[in-house]
Amino acid sequence: MTSLRELVEERAGLDDASVDTLQAILSDWQILADLSFSDLLMFCRDPESGQLTVIAQMRPYTAQTVYHEDLVGRTYEATERPQVTRAFLDGEIVRDGDPDWSTGVPVREEAIPVPFDGRIIGVVTREGNLSTVRAPSELELTYYQAANDLSHMLAEGSFPFPGEDPERELAPRVGDGMMRIDATGVVNYASPNAVSAYRRLGVVDNIVGRNLELFDLDDQAVLEALADGEPLESEVEARGAVVLRRLLPLTRGHHVLGGLMLVREVTELRRHERLLLYKDATIREIHHRVKNNLQTVASLLRLQSRRMTNEESAQALAESVRRISSIALVHETLSQDSRQRVSFDKVAQRLIDMLAIGLTDPTRPVEMELEGSAGELPAEVATPLALVLSELLQNSVEHAFVHEGGAVTVVLDRRSASLHLEVHDDGVGVPEQWRLESDANLGLRIAMTLVESELGGTLEVRRSEIGQGTVCEAVLPLPR
């Protein structure tokens, strides 16, 4: 799929700054489409041939679309779109011309030039279906008037507003609620949805004909932004209701004509967000308590092991402490993040650091190193995988370095549908005829059971093909 940047560079040869300007318009031109009850098309022009190319398309939410097919990438000769060509050449809005019947319905076209750095880099057309024309309501007349004001601002280069964040998932749309205010802050028109939003905030009187300072909960900021000709996004809350507002100053030259206030009532949305935050905090607290309880159990086992006179029993308790500590590491990570996913790289590194201190003999020092990355894993994968890594590391330290120390390397390799975990050492290596199914010790059997039963993967233990040592490789399937 060709991106806007690639299409513009190929068909019009525009530089990056010009493309960024066009991208900024696309991030905010839904408002113009809805106010106009029209489809919007954006054109670029080949400076040599004059050929026109549609580089973007927007359909309105407030009316039926004129173009059911996607026109992006379609090219026209200059004579096929004379109004667009005139807008490119003259740099002015072109509104005259007979309706176009090529789509089967009469379409009135208006071409709006997009200036940048002293030249016209694009043209936006407003294309409305004339077959639905009737006596417009007050709401429709207000929409059309605001659309004309925004069209002039687009032709002047003052819309969209510079410096605004293009990412507005919750930003109010025209249909959510709209007020037209004059330059002093008096409301000339308010749509039914806008009136309802303010009623939720406790404003029961008629707001049309009144100044914002008499009823708005954040009037000072709004009036200051309106006077300066600067956009403003804000959120107000009262009587258990939450309303988002977006002020769009309407200007002509350097003169402020008034403003367009879009409002959206988001009470339920904010309530659900707060519930999610509460649940996330509760889940983190549960993981924190589980981690603390596991550490308490580990401490009790550690105390018990110190009282053991039987060396084999003390060693078994010490191994249990390490296994419990491995699980506690995962829960500690989960307690710091609201998502039920774990950065396994951090868990693996902390596990390596913990075992490097608790397992190695000063007379036979073993260096442990982590390579690669596993990324984020679900908690139900990370917990058994941490136990597997713990068992493999303990097995290497205890059996690979009988007479002297060495090195153990953990390699994490995440692929499109699987995760490969390798633990390889440069120790004595497993015997030639050694088999995992029949000759494995308890630690390796635990690791094999976890890999095959809990994780649905495979575990292989083999002599290193390069030099000496042993390679333990676990392959786990992951959802794509």
Share of the chain above pLDDT 90, in %: 45
In terms of DSSP bridges, do strands 241-252 and 255-265 run parallel, antiparallel, or are they unpaired?
antiparallel
Q: Say how many domains are in the chain.
A: 4
* Burial class for 164, CB neighbours closer than 10 Å (0-12, 13-18, 19+): middle
The pLDDT value recorded for residue 168 is: 65
Q: What amino acid is encoded at 245 in this protein? A: R
The pLDDT value recorded for residue 314 is: 79
In a domain, 230, yes or no: yes
Q: What's the chain's average pLDDT?
A: 87
Query: pLDDT tens-digit profile of 209-263?
Result: 999 999 998 889 999 999 999 999 999 999 889 999 999 999 998 899 999 999 9
Q: Which helix (H) or strand (E) holds 389?
A: helix 379-400
The pLDDT value recorded for residue 193 is: 93
The pLDDT value recorded for residue 135 is: 66
In a domain, 371, yes or no: yes
Do 357 and 462 sit in the same domain of this protein?
yes
In a domain, 165, yes or no: no
Cβ pair 42, 21 in contact under 8 A: no
Do 245 and 183 sit in the same domain of this protein?
yes
Do 346 and 331 sit in the same domain of this protein?
no
Which CATH number covers residue 22? 3.30.450.280
Q: Which has the higher per-residue pLDDT, 126 or 401?
A: 126
Nearest C-alpha neighbor of 421 from the set 397, 450, 400: 450
Which CATH number covers residue 210? 3.30.450.20
Do 150 and 9 sit in the same domain of this protein?
yes
Phi, psi of 74 (to 5 degrees): -75, 140
Query: pLDDT tens-digit profile of 264-318?
Result: 999 888 888 888 777 877 777 887 888 888 888 888 888 888 888 787 887 788 7
Do 48 and 104 sit in the same domain of this protein?
yes
The pLDDT value recorded for residue 104 is: 66
Query: pLDDT tens-digit profile of 64-88?
Result: 888 889 999 999 999 999 999 999 9
How many whole angstroms separate alpha carbon 130 and alpha carbon 198?
35
In a domain, 163, yes or no: no
How many whole angstroms separate alpha carbon 427 and alpha carbon 269?
59
Do 113 and 39 sit in the same domain of this protein?
yes
Do 97 and 195 sit in the same domain of this protein?
no
Give the domain-ending residue among 265, 292, 320.
265
Give the domain-ending residue among 318, 338, 358.
338
The pLDDT value recorded for residue 195 is: 93
In a domain, 208, yes or no: yes
Nearest C-alpha neighbor of 191 from the set 152, 130, 129, 142: 142
- Cα dihedral value 132, 137, 139, 143, nearest 10: 50
How many whole angstroms separate alpha carbon 438 and alpha carbon 15?
68
How many CB atoms lie under 10 A from the CB of residue 41?
25
Query: What is the span of the domain harbouring residue 43?
Result: 4-135+145-156
Q: Which has the higher per-residue pLDDT, 210 or 107?
A: 210
Do 275 and 248 sit in the same domain of this protein?
no
How many whole angstroms separate alpha carbon 51 and alpha carbon 53?
7
The pLDDT value recorded for residue 2 is: 63
Q: Which helix (H) or strand (E) holds 279?
A: helix 267-307
Which CATH number covers residue 446? 3.30.565.10
Phi, psi of 383 (to 5 degrees): -65, -55
Mutual orientation of helices 379-400 and 442-449 as an angle, nearest 10°?
160
Nearest-5° Cα angle at 355, 352 to 358 = 155
The pLDDT value recorded for residue 99 is: 67
Give the domain-ending residue among 210, 231, 265.
265
* Residue 139 neighbours by CB under 8 Å, 6+ apart: 189, 191
